[in-house]
Chains A and B, each alone.
Chain A
Amino acid sequence: MNAIEIRNVGKSYGKIRALSGISLDVEEGEIFGLIGPDGAGKTTLFRILTTLLLADEGEASVMGFDVKKDYESIRKIIGYMPGRFSLYQDLSVEENLEFFATVFGTTVKENYGVIKDIYSQIEPFKDRRAGALSGGMKQKLALSCALVHKPSVLFLDEPTTGVDAVSRKDFWNMLSRIKASGVTVFVSTPYMDEASLCDRVALMMHGRTIDEGTPAQIVAKYPYRLLSVKGKPMYPLLKYLRGSEGVLNCFSFGSVHHLAIDGSRTDAGKILSGISEAGFTDCEVHEIDPGIEDCFMNLAGQSADNGKFMSDDGKRD
C-alpha cells in the first residue's frame, strides 16, 4: 500500500484552475517533495490531502483512507504543519506542545520519544511564550507539535520558506531522522536545491505535475549539454547569449548564466571566444551537470510560456 495515492485530482476556485489531473503515489517511509514556484497549486493539494478542502474531481487517499469518506480517520493519523507558522503565540512552548498533544488525545509524556530529537533543542526555553521565539525555534516547535501524536504521514507545506540557510539545513537533517523513525514525509518547497534532499520529487507548475521521479532520474532526463557562463555586465550578456548560434535556452542562476546548447552546433570554446570578442569582461565558461532547477526551467519552458514564469520566480535563491 502506498502512503498517499492521488488519482486525477482537480480543483478550481471560481474561474481559476488551481489543480488539474494530478496523479501521484507516495510510498510509505519516504520523503516526497512537491516542488514548484508560488501559485503552482502546492498548498491546494496539501489542503485536499489534509481534508481541509474538497477536490472537484478525482480521488485521493492517505494510508488507504479516502479523503472524502474517511476524513475522520485521516485526521487521527496525520501531522500537518501549514506554511504560515501557526501556534498560539500567547502560550508557552510547553503549553503549545501539551495543547496539541491533548487535542489529538495523547500526552507529551507518552510520545516523548518521537519528538525528543527536535524538542530537546528548544526544551531549555519551554516556559517562553511561542511568540517570543526566534524563527528557527518556532519552526522546531511547530514540527514538534505536528509530530507529538506520532502521525503516520507528516505534511509539511513550505516549511523552509523564510528560514535562513543554516536553519534550513538543520531542518532537512531533522526530516531525515523523522523518516528514519518510519514516518512518511510529504513536503513542499519552492527551493529547487532542496529537491536533492528528497527521495522522490514531483515538479509542479500551473496546477499540473510536469515531471516526477527520483532527483537522479529527473536530472538524467535532461536532454541537452549545459554550460555555465560568467561575464560582465550580466544582463547584456544574457541577451547576447540568447541570440547566439546553437543556444537553445539561457537562464540566469545567481552570478552565472546556465546555457543549454546544441552540441553539434557550438561548444564551450566557441561561446567563450564569442563573448570575449563581443566585449564582455571576466569571462569564464565551463561545462556542468544539470541540476533540478535546470530541468525545471527546461520543462517549464516546454509546458508553458516561460516568459510569464520567469517574471514571478522571485523565490529562487
Chain B
Amino acid sequence: MWKYLIEKEFKQFFRDPMLPRIVIVFPIIMMLVFPFAANMEVRNINLVVVDNDRTDMSSELIEKCTESGYFRLKKICSDPREAQRMMDRNTVDAILTIGQGFGKSAVTGDGFPVGIKVNTVNGTKGSIGSQYLSNCVMLFMQSRAGADVASAAGASGAVIDAAPKYYYNPYMDYKVFMVPALIVIAVTMVTGFFPALNIVGEKEAGTIEQLNVSPVSKTAFIVCKMIPYWVITFFMVGMCLLIAWLAFGYVCKGSLWGVFLFTVLHIMVTAGLGLLISNYSDNAQQAMFIMMFFVLIFMLMSGVFTPVSSMPEWARVITYANPLRYYADAMRSIFLKGSSIADVWYDAAGLLAIGGLALTWAITSYRKTS
C-alpha cells in the first residue's frame, strides 16, 4: 500500500504543469543570480573631501583613499557647508574633513585632525564605508610613521602591524559565503510549501474525504506525502552543488554525506511544519500565507543574511527555536570549513528536536474524524 501511495504522489507531481519546472528553475536562479545580487561588498562610495590644509600631505591622503578602489572622489572643496549640502542631496555618501595643520602634525606624529562623516540612510553602506575610510587614514598614518619617524618611533615601542587573515574564505568572497546559505533557502522554500499545498489541495478537491473513510493510517498518509519531497529535494541540493562547482568552482569542503544528512533533518522540520499548517488551514491561500509568515521569520532570524551574534540577547534566544539557524550553520560549516558531522552535532540535535516535535504534532493533529 505504501508503495502505491508514494507512486501516486510522484505521478501527480510529474503531471503538474508547474512543480517539476519550479524544481529545475528555482535552484538555477538561486545559484546563478543571487550570489551576485545578495552581495554585501560595498564599492563606489561617493566621497567629498573638505581640505582645509591644502598641503602635499593632505593631497597624498586623498590619493591614498581614492586609489583603494572603494571610493569615487566627487569633489574637493574648502567649505564644510557645501559638503554637507551634497550629502543632504544624496550626491555623496561620505565626507572626509582634513583639518588645518594636518601636514605639520603628520610630520611631528601628533594626533591627526581628520574628520569622517558618513551618510547612514543605507546602514550597511554607511558603516562599511566609514570602516574603509578610517582604514585608509590609518594606513596612511602608518606609512607616514614608517617613512618619517621610523627611528623616532623606536623609542615609543614597535609599530603594531595588524594584518588580518581570513580563514575558510581567504579572499572574503561573499559568493562563497552565500552559496551554502542559498541552498538552505531553496530547500526551505520547496519543502516548506510543496507538502503543505499538496495536502490542502486534497482537501480542496475533496479527495481527502475518500481517504479518510479508508483504512489507510494517519502515519502512512503523512509519511507517504513526505517521501517524494525528500527525493525531490535531494535532487535539488545535488543540482545546487553541481552549479556551484561548474559556475564558481566551489566545492564542498566537508563530506557530502553531512550535507545530505542535514538536509534530511531539515526536510523533516519544514515538511512537518508544512503538514501541520495544512492540517489547520482549509484552503491553499491560508496555508500559503501562514507558511510565508514562518519562512520569512525563519530566514531573517537564521543568520543567513545577518549574523546571529549581532542580534540583541532576546532575539538570539528566539533563534534557538528556528530550524534554519541550525541548518544554515551546519551547511556553512560543512561547505566552507569542512566540518564533520561530529563537529556540528548540536545543529543536528536542534533540528531533530524541532523536527520531531513538528512531525509528531502534524500526525496527531491530522484528524480523520472531525
The answer to whether A219 has its CB under 8 Å from any CB of chain B is no
The stretch from B117-125, B201-209, B268-276, B313-321 touching chain A is: B201-209
Q: Kindly state whether residue B214 has any CB partner on chain A within 8 Å.
A: yes
Do B206 and A82 touch (CB < 8 A)? yes
With contact pairs A75-B215, A76-B215, A145-B210 given, residues A88 and B369 touching in the complex (Cβ less than 8 Å): no
Task: Give the bracket for the number of chain B residues in contact with chain A.
Answer: 20 to 34
Which bucket holds chain A's interface residue count?
Answer: 20 to 34
Q: Are A103 and B1 in contact (CB under 8 A)?
A: yes
Q: Which of A47-55, A252-260, A306-314 contacts B (4 or more CB under 8 A)?
A: A47-55
Q: Which residues of A contact B369 (CB under 8 A)?
A: 51-54, 71
In the bound complex, residues from chain A placing their C-beta under 8 Å from that of B12 are: 88, 90-91
Tell me whether B4 and A53 are in contact (CB under 8 A).
Answer: no
- Cβ contacts under 8 Å, A71 to chain B: 369
Of residues B1, B209, B210, B211, which shows the largest number of chain A Cβ atoms within 10 Å of its Cβ?
B210
Encoded as 1 (CB less than 8 Å from any B CB) or 0, chain A from 255 to 268 comes to: 00000000000000
Asked if B213 contacts A75 (CB within 8 A), the reply is yes
B216 and chain A: residue at smallest CB distance: A103
**What residues of chain A lie closer than 8 Å to B209, measured between beta carbons?**
52, 80, 82, 86
- Please tell me if B368 contacts chain A, counting CB pairs below 8 Å: yes
Given contacts A52-B370, A98-B4, A103-B1, contact A87 B207 (CB under 8 A): yes
| Chain A residue nearest to B210 in the complex (CB) | A86
Q: Is B16 an interface residue (CB 8 A)?
A: yes
Q: Which residue of B lies closest to A78 (CB)?
A: B213
Contact assessment for A80 and B206 in the assembled complex, using a CB-CB cutoff below 8 Å: no
Provide the main secondary structure of the chain A interface. Answer: loop
CB-defined contacts of B213 to chain A, threshold 8 Å? 50-52, 75, 78, 80
With known contacts A86-B207, A91-B11, A102–B215 Cβ distance under 8 A: no
Q: Is the CB of A90 within 8 A of B368?
A: no
CB nearest neighbor in A for B11: A91
Known: A78-B213, A82-B210, A84-B206. A52 touches B15 (CB 8 A): no
Determine the residue in chain B with the shortest Cβ distance to A54: B369
Over the window 140-179 of chain B, the binary record of Cβ atoms lying under 8 Å from chain A Cβ atoms (1 yes, 0 no) is 0000000000000000000000000000000000000000
Q: How far is the CB of A57 from chain B (nearest CB, A)?
A: 16
Is B212 close to A, CB under 8 A?
yes
Whether A52 pairs with B212 at a CB distance below 8 angstroms is yes
Contact with B along A70-108 (1 / 0, CB 8 A): 011001101010101111111100010011101111000
Residue pair A72, B210 in contact (C-beta under 8 Å): no
Complex alpha-carbon distance, A102 and B5, angstroms? 8
Contact with A along B198-242 (1 / 0, CB 8 A): 000000011101111111100000000000000000000000000
Cα of A75 to Cα of B12 in the assembled complex, Å: 25
**B74: CB under 8 A from chain A?**
no
Q: Which residues of A contact B211 (CB under 8 A)?
A: 103
B75 within 8 A of A: no
Tell me the A151-170 residues at the B interface (CB within 8 Å). Answer: none
Min distance, Cβ A291 to any Cβ of chain B, angstroms: 33
Q: Report the nearest B residue to A81, measured CB to CB.
A: B210
Docked complex Cα distance between A84 and B5 (Å):
22
Of the candidates A75, A88, A89, A90, the one whose C-beta lies within 8 Å of that of B214 is A75
Smallest CB separation, B223 vs chain A (Å): 15
Residues from chain B with a CB closer than 8 A to the CB of A84 are: 206
A87 vs B205: C-alpha distance when bound (angstroms): 8
Chain A contacts of B207 at CB under 8 A?
86-88
Residue of B nearest to A99 (CB): B8
Residues of B within 8 A of A54 (CB): 369-370
Q: Nearest Cβ distance between residue B289 and chain A, in whole angstroms?
A: 25
Q: How close is B221's CB to chain A, nearest CB, in angstroms? A: 10
Q: Which residues of A contact B214 (CB under 8 A)?
A: 75, 100, 103-104
CB distance from A138 to the nearest CB of B (A): 12
A51–B368 alpha-carbon span in the complex (Å) = 8
Contact sample, A vs B, 26 pairs, CB 8 Å cutoff: A50-B213, A51-B213, A51-B369, A52-B209, A53-B370, A54-B369, A54-B370, A72-B215, A80-B209, A82-B210, A84-B206, A86-B206, A86-B207, A87-B207, A88-B205, A89-B205, A90-B11, A90-B15, A99-B8, A100-B210, A102-B1, A102-B4, A102-B5, A105-B1, A105-B215, A145-B210
**Given A80-B210, A88-B205, A104-B214, 12 more contacts at CB 8 Å?**
A51-B369, A52-B212, A52-B370, A71-B369, A75-B213, A80-B209, A85-B206, A87-B210, A91-B11, A100-B210, A102-B1, A105-B1
Which A-B residue pairs are the 6 nearest by beta carbons? A86-B206, A102-B4, A80-B213, A103-B214, A84-B206, A90-B15
Give A residues with C-beta under 8 Å from B: 50-54, 71-72, 75-76, 78, 80, 82, 84-91, 95, 98-100, 102-105, 145
